[in-house]
Amino acid sequence: MGKLQDKVALVTGSGRGIGRAIALKLASEGARVVVNDLDPEPGDAVAAEIKAMGSDAIAVNGSVSEPGFADRFVGAAVEKFRGLDIIVNNAGYTWDSTIQKMTDEQFQAMLDVHLVAPFRILRAAAEPIRIFAKKEAEAGQEVFRKVVNISSIAGLYGNAGQASYSSAKASLVGLTRTLCKEWGRYKVNVNCVAFGLINTRLTQPIEAQQKTIDVAGRDIKVGVQPQLLDAMARMIPLGRGGTPEEAADAVYLFCSPESNYVSGQVLVCGGGLIL
């Protein structure tokens, strides 16, 4: 029996990288997981991987920024698993430019995926959570639920070339602390994890030809210049970037029963990096 046995967890952007590691970590503790990825193949693959572990999962794929996604995502959890215990707002990507080169489309895209999408998902979850909490209170039960929003050290300290991303991630901290106050009466712990350098496909070293990912028909460049990665690693007291599994462990801290009296907090998972 894991610490999250039979809990229902929703994790956006969980077909790859950090999100996949989070979904697998929660499933390893007994949670049933609603997986999501922009593309169906990785989302379906993670759901199958969780089932092979002996837990249960479904995939609700598609862009978290699409109108109607939030209701579809939350609704699938309630319909399939008859519960809603953990929400991890993880989906996202970066689309960088210095401010004089940044377009309105770039700025809005970062707000949409990193701030508006989590807002919509949490809004969609509000009524089911209220109903579950009311029934539990009437039965004399104290059941805690968990929300973990994923921010970044860029949202806490800023980062050159990331005005849009940093603004969205900073705003997510404000949303976290507001919902901590609104949802405390429902026994919901609302916290935030801000990642430093985590080694994923989005932070891979740029080689001779820079790689791109397709997001809603846009080719978005990914990767970091090797010399910048080396400089960042030297700034990290632990001496290296983190793994997706280490990032998932930080999120799990806020999903576990040990965090039942912790809410409205921001945990930096960055190997000691403080800018």
Structural domain contains residue 258: yes
Q: What integer pLDDT is reported at residue 53 of this predicted model?
A: 95
Cβ partners under 8 Å of residue 241, min gap 6 = 196, 197, 198, 199, 203, 229, 232, 233, 271
Enclosing domain of residue 119: 8-197+243-269
Cα–Cα distance between 247 and 213 in angstroms, integer? Answer: 22
Q: Which of 155, 69, 159 is nearest to 114 (CA)?
A: 155
Asked whether the beta carbons of 19 and 91 are under 8 A apart, the reply is yes
| Confidence grade of residue 214 (pLDDT, cut at 50, 70, 90) | confident
- pLDDT tens-digit readout, 222-271: 766 777 778 888 899 999 999 999 999 999 999 999 999 999 999 999 99
* Residue 143 located in a structural domain: yes
137: amino acid identity, one letter: A
Of the residues 93, 157, 165, 261, only one is catalytic, namely 165
For residue 220, give both structure tokens.
């978005």
d(CA 18, CA 20): 5
Question: For the sheet containing 32-35, what is the strand order?
Answer: 57-59, 32-35, 8-11, 86-89, 145-152, 188-195, 266-269
What is the average pLDDT across 99-125? 97
By the 8 A CB rule, do 211 and 222 touch? yes
Number of domains into which the chain is organized: 1
- pLDDT, residue 134, reads 98
Confidence at 220, pLDDT banded by 50, 70, 90: confident
Residue 251 lies in a domain: yes
| Total residues belonging to the chain | 275
Would residue 213 count as lying in a domain? no
| pLDDT digits 0-9 by tens, 35-79 | 999 999 999 999 999 999 999 999 999 999 999 999 999 999 999
Per-residue pLDDT tens over the stretch 174-200: 999 999 999 999 999 999 999 999 998
Assign 239 to helix, strand or coil: coil
- Closest Cα partner for 199 from 11, 1, 18, 4? 18
Residue 228 in any domain: the answer is no
Is 91 domain-assigned?
yes
Q: Residue 215: inside a domain, yes or no?
A: no
Q: What is the CATH number of the domain that holds 137?
A: 3.40.50.720
Q: Which pLDDT value is given to residue 1? A: 82
* pLDDT score at 210: 64
Look at residue 208 and tell me whether its pLDDT is greater than 70: no
Q: Buried (b) or exposed (e) across 29-44, using 16+ Cβ within 10 A?
A: bbbbbbbbbbeeebbb
Which of 128, 123, 127, 148 lies closest to 10, judged by CA? Answer: 148
| Known catalytic residue at 165 | yes
- Asked if 189 and 258 count as a contact pair (C-beta separation under 8 A), the reply is no
Contact (Cβ atoms closer than 8 angstroms) between residue 36 and residue 14:
yes
| Three-state DSSP state, 59 | strand
Q: How far is CA 158 from the centre of its chain?
A: 19
Residue 203 is assigned to a structural domain of this protein: no
